[in-house]
Structure 1
Amino acid sequence: MNDVLKVLIVDDEAMARARLRDLLGDIADEYPTRVVGMVANGAEALRMIEQEPVDLVLADIRMPVMDGVEFARKLAERPCPPGVIFTTAYDEYAVTAFDVEAVDYLVKPVRAGRLAAALARFRRSRTPETGGEGAGGEGRTHFSVTERGRILLVPVDEVRYLKAEMKYVTAFTSERDYVLDESLVQLEEEFGERFLRIHRNCLVARSAIVGVEREGEADGEPHWAVLLAGVAERLPISRRQWPTVKATLKL
């Protein structure tokens, strides 16, 4: 697969198609793509793919003539079909989407960071395993953060820890924090070699760990906490994760 992904956008709303095209442009420095077409339903998409093979399709689910699920099923019958990422305003189709082996399922309004994560997942799915992180050169080096009308690229290497709070994940660097539109489970799956889970709601950068410390003796709730370079806060290690942390750090 070439470095530049050939993408087809399928959505019955012109504004939705334009938004996806613009989002792809916003993250093009990290995930280069070329939009080869934008069509309004699955039937048109199949005809276009006959003329212009693509790597990836961003497809809505509820569309006239042929909806996204039927489109994905017909696409899967072809030899070497392109990947499909569903982009929809409805979350009730998630199980169906993965039944047809969709790469990802994005609920509108789609955010740049979430789209970037989906593209990263697609690249990993098409890159042969070569025995180590970064071997294929396809891993993300930055998080895409939407903030006050801007898209910021935050280097993964600068993130000290990731913490889930409510329905968002916050990435903390030594200087400030950033809100990511991604789940902690997804981030652990993608960056398991870089980040270590210390709690159900927290991953810490392995390279930033400088030690652990016993806390809570005075209030009767003793626990271990991790010490990170450049971070004043001591982050608690849950009892469940302590054996893994201890073994990982060879304590």
Structure 2
Amino acid sequence: MVNRHRVIIVDDEPLARDELGAMLNSQHLDFDVVAAVENTAKAWELMQEDESIEGLFLDIDIQTESKRAGLDFALNLNRLLVKPWVVFISGYSEYAVEAFQSFPVNYLVKPVDQGSLASVLQWIRIHSEDRPKKTGRINIRHRRQDAHGEFVYITEWVNHDEILYIQKNAGVGTVKIGLIDGEVLDGVNSTLKEWEALGFFQIHRRNLVNLAHVRREMPRVGENTVYKVGFKNSPLELDIGPDYLLLFRVELRKL
């Protein structure tokens, strides 16, 4: 079975969009052009609606937004937990050095020739299976104290099934991630909504859990209207918000 790659072309020049789309549709049939749009706002809207989009062919200088709109968009995409790959398509080479700070697959200068495009697409085909999926490995940047007591940020890959819960930190825009071995990754710059999109289930305004590790619900000690989640291989317990209890019970019955 052919592995198909769903992509978006983002370029404010209609001719450039049409030419690249024609090259992909005629000679690289395993790349499905979901849409060819003129700005990053429309690209983001499509990505929100269709989680199967794997990559972007992205212009940098988008006249209706800014001279570096594509570059800024790519840098913001790096904040996502599961990031699309990006191939920059630009009429200028001056942005190349800065563009590679967003870790794109490549940077192609217009007009794009068939040979350069074919090389880039072949690299994507070979490495596409290495990309983290929603049920696979997740790239997490978190805060840790070093040997000198200083806080530093490190990045590591964590398997989806290693995660027990995600909890929003009070008063700041970060979360902490509890792993099944008891380790806690703190200071992760992301939102609960991003983690919910990766398959974790919300049980409280501050808590998401990995349902695969949930053992049962139980009343808080001394009460019969407030409930907690108990886990299979951890003594940890987390509160269930009253607004989330009914849906949580429905999900438990499916397990």
TM-score after normalising by structure 1: 0.49
TM-score after normalising by structure 2: 0.48
The structure having more radius of gyration, on CA atoms, is 2
